Amino acid sequence: MVVGDFPIETDTLVIGSGPGGYVAAIRAAQLGQKVTIVEKAELGGVCLNVGCIPSKALITAGHRYEQALHSDDMGIKAENVTLDFSKVQEFKSKVVKKLTSGVEGLLKGNKVEIVKGEAYFVDANSIRVMNENSAQTYTFKNAIIATGSRPIELKTFPYSERVIDSTGALNLKEVPQKLVIIGGGVIGIELGTAYANMGSKVTVLEGSDDILAGFEKQMTTIVKKNLKAKGVEVVTKAMAKGAEVTGNGVVVTYEAGGSEQKLEADYVLVTVGRRPNTDELGLEQVGIEMTERGLIKVDKQCRTNVSNIYAIGDIVEGPQLAHKASYEGKVAAEAIAGEPAEVDYLAIPAVVFSEPELATVGFNEQQAKEAGFDVIGAKFPYAANGRALALNETDGFVKLVTRKEDGLVIGAQIAGANASDVIAELGLAIEAGMTAEDIAMTIHAHPTLGEITMEAAEVALGSPIHIIK
């Protein structure tokens, strides 16, 4: 191993190149800092390589295949529709490669130094970066930790060739005939939907009362109806107890309804949450304060108790969302530059790429009432929208949560086609302090799904046009 004799100096050192780290590095460089980014694996982190992006590629492929098989009611009959899963994986890999190479180009274009290796803190102003060929010390004025998270492994379900995490599910060589998913959260439902669309018999085992915790029941009910139509069995209040790997599959044992049951499958996918990557960084060397869950404590500028070290993304409190990490990365870089940037999470959206898609931002109606607001929950159905009818995607609704006294929009929920795109307007409305009247008075193109937002605002004002009051 080659050891560097002299420390290399940099202004801002970023550990991790996921959607938090690479965005922080670019923004810091834009603000005039000399920036070094350290990555032990692939540029782009979990999101671009084995998370958000490849999963959406699989979801899209599954949706296209399912549509090809079932578009008879639109007069489209396709015979001998086949699925070449190796080509699906090839498509997914091309998408990933294009984005990761794009991140590399952006970093280099902003003169960010890219260093491959594992980082370990020596003290509050230096780290040691090690790889199989060398070890080098870097000194810095400020550091941003953006090391992300990894799937939680259950003791009763140790990972193997047949017991897989989300990364394994994205890299299967074939579509499973039978797939058991432990955990009905976002990842489990998204991947379960993708594989169900491609022909898998999927069973979801969820320990709580409902899938997709954090989303309103009126939203999850629509998703469960569509899962059932695809032949997906969702078992709630189920306790997964263990898995026995056989020659060419796995037998899952679980308890539900007071009795123990067994399921045979080709694979079992464990999606019960993610653990922060904070345990192998040498944080104790610096005295950085942590929570009991292994998260790093930060203030509103993403600064730790060590004033020149910042932390963002999955390793701090809050939802584990790529766009949250990117947002925090910008805040941290701007705080380092002396700008008065602070986080404000009210208008941060959360999305599930289920069928139909779900999206939420700000308060839901119950949360608003618990926070002491007197609110109106105004809902408009997809089924009354011309574009939704033309798309044959009529399940769902847009719901606005507005303050009764002045119509201020403080939250929104969407269940329906393209919810992931439609929610952006409502996030902007909350961020800009807009009212239902502002949205209702904004002319929306016809026919579009965006009109549903306008119609929901008119419901909030008590003057809907396209549904009976």
DSSP labels, 335-386? HHTT-------TT--EEE-SSS-EEEEE--HHHHHHTT--EEEEEEEGGG-H
Given this model, what pLDDT does residue 286 score?
A: 96
Averaged pLDDT score across all residues of the chain: 96
Residues 265 and 281 in one domain: no
Each residue's pLDDT tens digit, 64-83: 999 999 999 999 999 999 99
Q: In sequence order, which residues have a C-beta less than 8 Å from that of residue 311 and are 6 or more positions away?
A: 144, 145, 146, 288, 296, 298, 302, 304
Please check whether residue 156 lies inside any domain of the structure. Answer: no
Where does the pLDDT of residue 205 fall: very low under 50, low under 70, confident under 90, or very high at 90 and above?
Answer: very high
Residues 280 and 255 in one domain: no
Each residue's pLDDT tens digit, 162-175: 999 999 999 999 99
Please check whether residue 157 lies inside any domain of the structure. Answer: no
CA 276/CA 269 separation, integer angstroms? 20
Given this model, what pLDDT does residue 469 score?
A: 81
Residue 369: domain span: 356-461
Q: In sequence order, which residues have a C-beta less than 8 Å from that of residue 231 and are 6 or more positions away?
A: 196, 201, 202
Average pLDDT over residues 268-291: 96
The SS3 assignment for 56 reads: helix
Of 272, 296, 323, the last residue of a domain is: 272
189 is in an annotated binding site: yes
Q: What is the DSSP letter of 258?
A: T
147 is in an annotated binding site: yes
Where does the pLDDT of residue 42 fall: very low under 50, low under 70, confident under 90, or very high at 90 and above?
Answer: very high
The number of domains in the chain is 3
53 is in an annotated binding site: no
Q: Which residues are catalytic?
A: 446
Residues 36 and 11 in one domain: yes
Residues 361 and 258 in one domain: no
407 is in an annotated binding site: no
Is pLDDT at 443 greater than 90 in this prediction? yes
Please check whether residue 468 lies inside any domain of the structure. Answer: no
Residues 125 and 171 in one domain: no
273 is in an annotated binding site: yes
Average pLDDT over residues 129-139: 93
Q: What is the DSSP letter of 303?
A: B
